[in-house]
Amino acid sequence: MNLLLNIIWIVFGGFMIAVEYVLSSVAMMLTIIGIPFGLQTLKLAQVALWPFGTDISNNGWPSGCLAGIMNVIWWFLGGFVIALSHLMWGLIFCITVIGIPFGMQHFKLMMLALFPFGKTIS
DSSP string, 30-86: TSTTTHHHHHHHHHHHHHHHS-TT--EEE-SSPSSHHHHHHHHHHIIIIIHHHHHHH
Predicted local distance difference test score (pLDDT) of residue 95: 95
pLDDT digits (tens, 9 = 90+) for 48-102: 999 998 888 876 665 667 777 888 888 888 888 888 999 999 999 999 999 999 9
Residue 13 lies in a domain: yes
pLDDT category at 113 given cuts 50, 70, 90 is confident
Residue 74 lies in a domain: yes
3, 28, 46, 63, 115 from 109: Cα distances, Å: 18, 19, 10, 22, 11
pLDDT digits (tens, 9 = 90+) for 9-54: 998 888 988 998 899 889 889 989 889 888 888 988 999 999 998 8
How far, in Å, CA of 95 to CA of 79, rounded? 25
How far, in Å, CA of 110 to CA of 104, rounded? 10
Residue 122 lies in a domain: no
Residue 40 lies in a domain: yes
Predicted local distance difference test score (pLDDT) of residue 60: 61
The predicted model gives 93-118 an average pLDDT of: 90
Predicted local distance difference test score (pLDDT) of residue 30: 93
Predicted local distance difference test score (pLDDT) of residue 107: 93
- 71 is in which domain, residue-wise? 2-117
Question: Would the pLDDT of 104 be above 70?
Answer: yes
Q: How many domains does the chain have?
A: 1
Cβ–Cβ < 8 Å for 98, 25: no
How far, in Å, CA of 34 to CA of 84, rounded? 22
